[in-house]
Amino acid sequence: MSASAPPFSDEHDQLRQSARGFIERELTPHAQRWEDERWFPDEVFPKMAAQGLLGLKYPECYGGQGGDYLHEAVLVEELARTGSGGTAAGIGAHINIATPPIWKFGTEEQKQRYLVPAIRGELIGALGITEPGAGSDVAAISTRAERVDGGWLVNGEKTYITNGVRADFIVTAVKTSAEGGHSGISFLIVDRGEGVTSSKLEKLGWHASDTATIAFEDVFVGEENLLGELDGGFKLIMANFQWERLAMALGAVGAMTVAWERTADFARQRSAFGKPLSRHQAIRHKLADMATSVHTCRCVTYDALRRFVGGEDPLKEVTMAKLLTQRAAFELMDDALQIHGGAGYMHEYWVERAARDARLGPIGGGSDEIMREILGRVLSL
Ligand SMILES: Cc1cc2nc3c(=O)[nH]c(=O)nc-3n(C[C@H](O)[C@H](O)[C@H](O)COP(=O)(O)OP(=O)(O)OC[C@H]3O[C@@H](n4cnc5c(N)ncnc54)[C@H](O)[C@@H]3O)c2cc1C
């Protein structure tokens, strides 16, 4: 199964080869240890930056590579080869959800102060929207920013924030009017400092990433850190959802591809009842179904990507790609685990981790139910 297919060109294939080489050399060999240690080192960011991998889609004037979302798509798919959902998630949060709003909506001064060092891997970013009382219903956030001389005082709590412990800055959704809601939310770039405290959360998968609760207690944020328009934050949330969901679909396609390759190899090598597992019809059919699922997910995702980079607003196609791939990835990992038998349940086998890591997909970045609600609206149901 070649990854090279429209909309990708030879140039993207070259990037794919070099990104894969870097990932398999510098990240994959450490994946198990980082998962066990519940942390991947911050040095991964400058290392990736040195390869140009933190700024693929950003203009050269900010230290980026001057590419576009297709280049980023290649990296997101290849990051699955890390074999640590948590590491891929930490890097992904930085490049796919924390820095894009600054690039799109930031002032020149904000880009110099945050985007440029973020592309160099010197500052690490997080996106803070979810709260204990508001997840799917993002308009219900209650973290509030009160106007004071020269800026705002922020009070409240965010939760399940990727890079929530290590992040130097948090692109944070806050209520800037008493009512909040769709027309009363703004974004502030909050620096880690006085009044900001993080607590790391234990979770089912993505162990190497620092998912955290972040409390803000009388945190002063200067007015120069308002990102985008005052009370215009809901638009900003919506603007990045398409890419975030597309990136999740691409990540799932990457992870499914690797899982299929490894499981097929295992089934060819492992014997039972005098012949390789892959020669037993039930297993062979399962592998055939898995390959079909990978291909279907890739086609649907690449179609959405093609439309996205072509300038369409492919809400329907991106939503379908997110919905299809996240559940399919989880199901494929479960099949892969089953084919591994008892070994699949063991910590030392990659598939045990892959199955746990894949469970987040149907929840994060907008759950399956929310994807169906969006499709219900798009399809006028
Ligand atoms: C590991 C991890 C990393 C994350 N990283 C980040 C991050 O970096 N930044 C960030 O801001 N957030 C992050 N999140 C939060 C994530 O986006 C939310 O968990 C997700 O949006 C769901 O919100 P919730 O957990 O509050 O669930 P809820 O919104 O409380 O939903 C609970 C259940 O009800 C369902 N439901 C809700 N509304 C409806 C409806 N209208 N109709 C039918 N069913 C509905 C949901 O689908 C879900 O099954 C992360 C979460 C996890 C687990």
Closest CA to 185 of 195, 175, 170: 175
Buried-exposed string 60-75: b where 16+ CB fall within 10 A, e elsewhere: eebbbbebebbbbbbb
Distance CA(85)–CA(355), nearest Å, equals 10
Angle between helices 85-92 and 350-358 (to 10 degrees): 40
Residue nearest to atom 36 of ligand 1 (CA): 369
Active site residue 108: no
Write down the pLDDT at residue 181.
Answer: 84
Instruction: Compute and round to an integer the Cα radius of gyration of the chain.
Output: 21
The DSSP string of 4-31 is: --TT--HHHHHHHHHHHHHIIIIIGGGH
List, for the chain, all residue ranges whose pLDDT scores fall below the cut of 70.
Answer: 1-6
- % of the chain beyond a pLDDT of 70: 98
Distance CA(148)–CA(222), nearest Å, equals 9
Q: What pTM, to 2 d.p., does this model score? A: 0.96
Q: CB neighbours (10 Å) of residue 140?
A: 13
Q: Which ligand 1 atom is the nearest neighbour of the CA of 209?
A: 1
Look-up of token digits 């400092």 = 193
Write down the pLDDT at residue 353.
Answer: 97
Find the residues whose C-beta lies inside 6 A of ligand 1: 93, 127-130, 135-136, 160-162, 203, 206, 211, 360, 363-365, 367, 369-370, 373
Over residues 155-213, the pLDDT tens digits come to 999 999 999 999 999 999 999 998 878 899 999 999 999 999 999 999 999 999 999 99
What is the torsional sign of CA 109, 113, 114, 120?
positive
342 Cβ partners below 8 Å, 6+ apart? none
Write down the pLDDT at residue 105.
Answer: 97
Asked if omega into 7 is within 30° of 0 (cis), the reply is yes
Q: What is the DSSP letter of 113?
A: I
Write down the pLDDT at residue 380.
Answer: 98
CA of 253 to the centre of ligand 1 (A): 22
Look-up of token digits 């080192």 = 41
3-state SS track over 267-320: HHHCEECCEEHHHCHHHHHHHHHHHHHHHHHHHHHHHHHHHHHCCCCCHHHHHH
Residue of 160, 322, 368 with the most ligand 1 atoms within 8 Å of its CB, for mutation: 160
- Catalytic pick from 244, 312, 317, 348? 244
Write down the pLDDT at residue 118.
Answer: 98
